Amino acid sequence: MSGSISKSKSPAEKSPGRAAKASQVASNRVVIFDTTLRDGEQSPGASMNLEEKIRIAGLLEEMGVDVIEAGFPIASNGDFEAVREIAKLVKTASVCGLARAGRMDIDRAWEALQHAARPRIHTFLSTSALHMKYKLQMTPEAVHQAVIDSVSYARNLCDDVEWSPEDGSRTDHDFLCRTVESAIKSGAGTINIPDTVGYAVPEEFAALIRMLVERVPNIDKAIISVHCHNDLGLAVANSLAAVGAGARQVECTINGLGERAGNCAMEEIVMALKTRQDAMPYVTGVKTDYITRASRLVSTITGFVVQPNKAIVGANAFAHESGIHQDGMLKHAGTYEIMTPESVGLNRSTLVMGKHSGRHAFKMKLQELGFDLGDNALADTFRRFKDLADRKKEIFDEDITALVDDEVTRAHQRVKFVSLQVVAGSKGPQTAELELDIDGELHHTKTTGNGPVDATFNAIHALVPHDARLQLYQVHAVTEGTDAQAEVTVRLEEMGKSVNGQGADPDTLVASARAYLHALNKLFTKRAKTAPKAMSA
Ligand code: KIV
Ligand code: ZN
């Protein structure tokens, strides 16, 4: 970093600030740092809008996450705004903004974090020979100096600074020790060691952490964190090995969302620590019964479906199909179940209400499910619930959740769904008759297509001409049964930017139209996102 502040006395020497926190953290407490909104959002197709990020951040805070990395403020106005709004709203968790090792990045992160109750600046710079030579085109000496300058600069602004040597797991040990020591001297209270390309294996990664504990003289002044990518499927194993070796912060994402093969999955790390206390006597502050809700929220918003056999949150994670297993389960749940579904917030589908349920009971149910709707949204959702109850015999918690998600996403749409009539079947042509409310005016059209979905999307196209390309069309049933609601995800791409839309309805085609319109409305409001050069985190 050029033109850095005076280094007559390092910030850590001036005042220990958050760096002192390292020694205050209980020795078996693992800090959970969630980066779903930053590293998770960096996976192609997983972009989220402001309102969606706020919903996820609210849930992360409620579930007891310690640090929420809300974005990379210099990356775009959208990221900046998300960090700023989340910083204003979140009170108990630390809110973190990412910054490269430059004043402009750090200033922008600090600007976004101004109103946070607990702000954290996370600054990073590559330290591996490969990255320094080819990506940064900087000498090790220049990198070392930039670490000192950037961390000192950040620490002069903010008490809580985290520093990451990008590609840390492939960095020369002597150089890693030197930069880590300097970062701590310059005021970093957390040192995060990333396995940026998911290359490490558990024993080796644990040895790396032990090496830092043994060789960096001031390491006790910082919390060691790890940030593992899952390219070899080892992100959770590497993170657990690192905790055993002395790391006390784990960076992770809900559902393991993240670049390429993703990041360490929060639900897996937290449940592994909780379930295997005998082997790993560490605790986190996460309320595990929020896990299922968080997983579903992130999956719905991003359109990234959770594979059925995914640990902890997959649809089959607690299903026992085979006769032998079912027999064992009936005799004693412990025979085949190492954790209860309830411990991750997976309650067996509960039948909630029917068409005779009143508004008060509905409101109570919403509160029980964690939704707090304003009067208008409540009235609209109640109306749709009644409509659903007329069409569907049994209404489950999942149905209500899908309804609310759908209603929340529709709140500020310029183009609203009004009605759809489709003629489908083997004797074509399939036709769709669609009515939309566009900026308060009703518009109507009738179109044909190669199948009912195509006809429906053609009708939308006729009423709202646009150049967006359909990248993903995905349907899944909210509950069991042929009268189940369909939850549809549509991903649209325009000029290199993609957005996800969701829609739910017992009629798959209505759900499809709603999902398409949701995505289209998002495209209309999406701000231009331009990533600065060489953005790679
Ligand atoms: O993977 C990585 O190295 C990162 C850093 C910014 C921590 O995401
Ligand atoms: Zn990463």
Q: Residue 472's domain is classified under what CATH number?
A: 3.30.160.270
Are 444 and 394 within one domain? no
Q: Which of 267, 339, 341, 347 is nearest to 299 (CA)?
A: 267
Are 401 and 287 within one domain? no
- Flag whether 536 is in a domain: no
Are 371 and 277 within one domain? no
Output the pLDDT for position 15.
46
Are 140 and 39 within one domain? yes
Are 162 and 293 within one domain? yes
Are 385 and 285 within one domain? no
Are 232 and 372 within one domain? no
Atom of ligand 1 nearest to the CA of 42: 8
Q: Please tell me the residue having the least CA distance from ligand 1 atom 1.
A: 196
Are 516 and 371 within one domain? no
In order along the chain (537 residues), what is the average pLDDT of each group of 10 residues?
A: 36 44 72 98 90 96 98 96 98 98 98 98 98 98 98 98 98 98 98 98 98 98 98 98 98 97 98 97 97 93 91 87 68 82 80 76 82 85 88 81 79 88 92 95 96 97 94 87 87 88 92 94 64 42
Output the pLDDT for position 535.
43
Are 287 and 433 within one domain? no
Q: Which residues pair with 325 in a beta bridge?
A: none
Query: What range does the domain containing 388 cover?
Result: 346-407
CA dist., res. 498 & res. 515, Å (int): 14
Of all ligands present, the nearest one to the C-alpha of 262 is 2
Answering whether pTM is above 0.75, one says yes
Check pocket membership of 124 for ligand 1, CB cut-off 6 A.
Answer: yes
Q: Please tell me the residue having the least CA distance from ligand 1 atom 4.
A: 537
Quick one: CA torsion of 323, 324, 326, 329, rounded to 10 degrees?
170
Q: Please tell me the residue having the least CA distance from ligand 1 atom 6.
A: 537
Output the pLDDT for position 58.
97
Q: Which of 130, 95, 98, 129 is nearest to 115 (CA)?
A: 95
Give the number of C-alpha atoms closer than 13 A to the C-alpha of residue 338, restricted to the C-beta side.
10
Question: Which residue of 41, 164, 191, 225 sits with most ligand 1 atoms within 8 Å of its CB, as the best mutation to test the pocket?
Answer: 164
Are 196 and 295 within one domain? yes
Domain termination residue (choose one: 249, 272, 302): 302
Q: Residue 173's domain is classified under what CATH number?
A: 3.20.20.70
Output the pLDDT for position 321.
62
Output the pLDDT for position 253.
98
Are 517 and 439 within one domain? yes
Domain count, the chain: 3
Atom of ligand 1 nearest to the CA of 229: 1
CA dist., res. 521 & res. 499, Å (int): 10
Ligand 1 centroid vs 3 CA: distance in angstroms? Answer: 25
Are 384 and 416 within one domain? no
Domain termination residue (choose one: 378, 407, 436): 407
Contact 170, 199 (CB under 8 A): yes
Domain termination residue (choose one: 276, 302, 328): 302
Output the pLDDT for position 31.
98
CA dist., res. 246 & res. 207, Å (int): 10
Ligand 1 centroid vs 193 CA: distance in angstroms? Answer: 9
Of all ligands present, the nearest one to the C-alpha of 225 is 1
Q: Which of 199, 202, 183 is nearest to 191 (CA)?
A: 183
Check pocket membership of 34 for ligand 1, CB cut-off 6 A.
Answer: no
The pair of three-digit structure tokens given for residue 257, joined into one six-digit string? 């969302």
Contact 96, 84 (CB under 8 A): no
- Flag whether 430 is in a domain: yes
Output the pLDDT for position 326.
66
Output the pLDDT for position 393.
75
Q: Please tell me the residue having the least CA distance from ligand 1 atom 5.
A: 537
The pair of three-digit structure tokens given for residue 427, joined into one six-digit string? 């004797």
